[in-house]
Amino acid sequence: MRDTWAVINVDVGHHSQSPFEHFSRDQWSALASQSPLPLTEDDVEAIASLGDPINLSEINAIYRPLSALLQLYVDGTWRTRAARRSFLHEGSHNTPFVIAVAGSVAVGKSTVARLLRLLLSRWARTPRVDLVATDGFLLPNAELKRRGLLERKGFPESYDRVGLIDFVARIKAGHESVTAPVYSHVTYDIVEGEFVTVNRPDILIVEGLNVLQPARIGPEIPGVALSDYFDFQLYVDADPEDIRAWYVDRFLQLRHTAFSDPRSYFRNYAKLTDRQAHETALRLWNTINMPNLVENIEPTRPRATMVLRKAADHSIQDVYLRKM
């Protein structure tokens, strides 16, 4: 497989051939003074994920300037749309700005998505920010079993691709009360009869493993990709060895939290010893999550508008922004 990281980080002499501009942590954090930080410690505690540490210092250095940059993208997009409507004598409705957050299992993309939702909703121009995870569009376990795909849950073929694209397309078109299925991480399945409703937000954040996948030609929606509806695409990245370590650590912690719930699909894992749990986590990583990362998720990285590169301690050390 081609090294997709080379597409992002290529330098020959003093002339970069990459379509991305690189910012070190210090260079990026120097931009923070251009925007406010409308969060408190309580806000941070409310959005932190298990095994994915985040603090105000990290938010100030990385996500404060990112929030300000996203506002520039939002404002610019809305100005362009307003000029188009004026030129074409179209209606006055403004469609939502859609942000994608992609990356591996355990890389911390859910925390990033929740953090962006909170930050962006504190801006006066974008008070209505919704977040939808693509987990809700995973096929039900019964259907995955029928198709022989239960061991490939999270791979592109395990999703209701048509339903997911239709959901985002309807929101992008300005439809009211668009619904999405609800997924339970306790039962590891779609919750029958439960839905989340999205009603014309200013910004929609779509978070998931494979949201940057290119179009897959087929009879259902030929040539259409979910990413066709995105205005900004963010990829959360890290060394695979670090992500593996985070995955194993999270698995060990889940034995005492979600896995111990009697309703949990993984309740048998709660009884594992430390050694058994470590071996089980490594097996799941090596047979499911790592292949999905290598085959499907990581190859979409060059399609992002921005890549956030994490170090082993979860801190963002490098920011890559696609050149205009």
Segment 273-298 shows an average pLDDT of 94
C-beta of residue 280 within 8 angstroms of C-beta of residue 251 = yes
**pTM (two decimals):** 0.92
The residue among 80, 98, 79 whose CA lies nearest residue 230 is 98
Segment 5-31 shows an average pLDDT of 76
Find the range with the poorest average confidence among 98-102, 125-129, 142-146. 125-129
Strand locations in the chain (E) = 11-12, 15-16, 20-24, 97-103, 129-133, 178-184, 189-198, 203-207, 232-237, 306-310, 316-322
104, pLDDT greater than 70: yes
Neighbours of 289 (CB within 10 A): 21
What distance in Å separates the CA atoms of residue 288 and residue 131, rounded to the nearest whole number? 26
108, pLDDT greater than 80: yes
Amino acid 261: pLDDT? 78
Span 34-53, pLDDT tens digits: 777 777 778 877 777 656 77
55, pLDDT greater than 90: no
Segment 132-148 shows an average pLDDT of 96
Every domain of the chain and the residues it spans: 18-322
**Residue 69's pLDDT band (cuts 50, 70, 90):** very high
Phi, psi for residue 57 in degrees, rounded to 5: -65, -45
Tokens found for residue 30: 């120097």
Amino acid 12: pLDDT? 37
**Residue 14's pLDDT band (cuts 50, 70, 90):** very low
C-beta of residue 299 within 8 angstroms of C-beta of residue 155 = no
C-beta of residue 152 within 8 angstroms of C-beta of residue 182 = no
Q: What percent of the chain has pLDDT over 70?
A: 92
C-beta of residue 252 within 8 angstroms of C-beta of residue 112 = no
Q: What percent of the chain has pLDDT over 90?
A: 67
DSSP string covering 88-139? HT--SPPPPEEEEEEE-TTSSHHHHHHHHHHHHHTSTT---EEEEEGGGGBP
**Averaged pLDDT of the chain:** 89
Amino acid 308: pLDDT? 98
Q: Domain 18-322's class? A: alpha beta
Q: Write the burial class of residue 230 (CB in 10 Å: 0-12 exposed, 13-18 middle, 19+ buried).
A: buried
Span 205-244, pLDDT tens digits: 999 999 999 987 766 666 789 999 999 999 999 999 999 9
2, pLDDT greater than 70: no
Amino acid 263: pLDDT? 80
End-to-end CA distance of the chain: 28
Find the range with the poorest average confidence among 131-145, 146-160, 245-259, 279-293. 245-259
Cα–Cα–Cα angle for 115, 182, 314, rounded to 5 degrees: 30
DSSP state of 59: I
280, pLDDT greater than 50: yes
Neighbours of 265 (CB within 10 A): 16
SS3 159: strand
What distance in Å separates the CA atoms of residue 118 and residue 43, rounded to the nearest whole number? 8
Burial 13-49 (b: 16+ CB within 10 A, else e): eeeeebebebbebeebbebbeebeeebeeebbeebeb
What distance in Å separates the CA atoms of residue 60 and residue 80, rounded to the nearest whole number? 30
Amino acid 75: pLDDT? 94
11, pLDDT greater than 50: no
